[in-house]
Amino acid sequence: MDARSEIDRRRFLVGAGVTAAGAFACGSGLALVPRQARRAQAAPATALPAFDPGDWSSVRHSFDLSPGVVHLGALYIASHPAPVREAIDTHRRGLDRDPVPYLQRHERELTYAALDAAGRYMDARPEDIALTDSTTMGLGLLYAGLRLRRGQEILTTEHDYYVTHESLRMAAEERGATVRRIRLHGPDDLEPDGIAVSADEIAARIARQVQPATRVIALTWVHSGTGLKLPLEKIAAAVREKTARRPPADRPLLCVDGVHGFGVEDVGMDETGFDFFAAGCHKWLFGPRGTGVLWGRGEEAWSLHRPTIPSFLDSGLWSAWARGVAPGGRTTARRATPGGFKAYEHRWALGPAFDFLREIGRDRVAERTHALARRLKEGLIGIPGVRLVTPLSQETSAGIVCFDVDGLSADAAVRRLADRGVVATVTPYATTHVRLAPSIVNTPEEVEAAIAAVAEVAA
Domain that holds residue 403: 361-458
pLDDT, residue 183, reads 96
State the distance between the two ends of the chain, measured CA to CA, in whole angstroms. 57
Residue 1 has a pLDDT of 44
132 and 252 housed in the same domain: yes
For residue 26, pLDDT beyond 70:
no
135 within some domain: yes
Q: Choose among 160, 186, 258, 226: nearest CA to 377.
A: 226
Distances, alpha carbon 130 to alpha carbons 134, 258, 274, in Å = 11, 15, 16
Same domain for 397 and 251: no
CA separation, residue 23 to residues 20, 92, 110, 427 (Å): 10, 24, 12, 47
Tell me: pLDDT of 271 over 70: yes
The DSSP code sequence of 2-60 is -HHHHHHHHHHHHHHTPPPPSTT--S----PPPHHHHHHHH-TT--PPPP-TT-HHHHH
**% of the chain surpassing 90 pLDDT:** 82
Residues 355 and 379 in one domain: no
**Domain contains 234:** yes
Same domain, 296 and 417: no
From 359, 386, 405, the end of a domain falls on 359
Q: How far apart are CA 170 and CA 167, in angstroms?
A: 5
- 117 pLDDT above the threshold of 70: yes
**Best CA proximity match to 58, nearest among 35, 81, 34:** 81
Question: Quick check: 180 pLDDT over 60?
Answer: yes
In which band, very low, low, confident or very high, does the pLDDT at 37 lie, cut at 50, 70 and 90? very low
Q: Same domain, yes or no, for 188 and 302? A: yes
Give the mean pLDDT of 229-233.
98
Helix axes 82-97, 99-122, angle to 10 degrees: 160
Q: Is residue 47 part of a domain?
A: no
User: Rounded distance, CA 412 to CA 457, Å?
Assistant: 10
**For residue 33, how many other CB atoms are within 10 A of its CB?**
12
Q: How confident is the model at residue 17 (pLDDT cuts 50, 70, 90)?
A: very low
Clarify whether residues 327 and 286 are in a common domain: yes
**Residues 297 and 419 both lie in one domain:** no
The total number of structural domains that make up the chain: 2
What residues pair up with 293 in beta bridges, in sequence order? 131, 279
Q: Does pLDDT of 346 surpass 80?
A: yes
Question: Same domain for 421 and 438?
Answer: yes
Of 41 and 143, the one with more pLDDT: 143
Q: Which of 351, 278, 238 is nearest to 8 (CA)?
A: 351
Predicted TM-score of the model (pTM): 0.88
Chosen domain end from 310, 343, 359: 359
Whether residue 121 lies inside any domain: the answer is: no
Given pLDDT bands bounded at 50, 70 and 90, which one contains residue 47? low
In this structure, are 281 and 249 located in the same domain?
Answer: yes
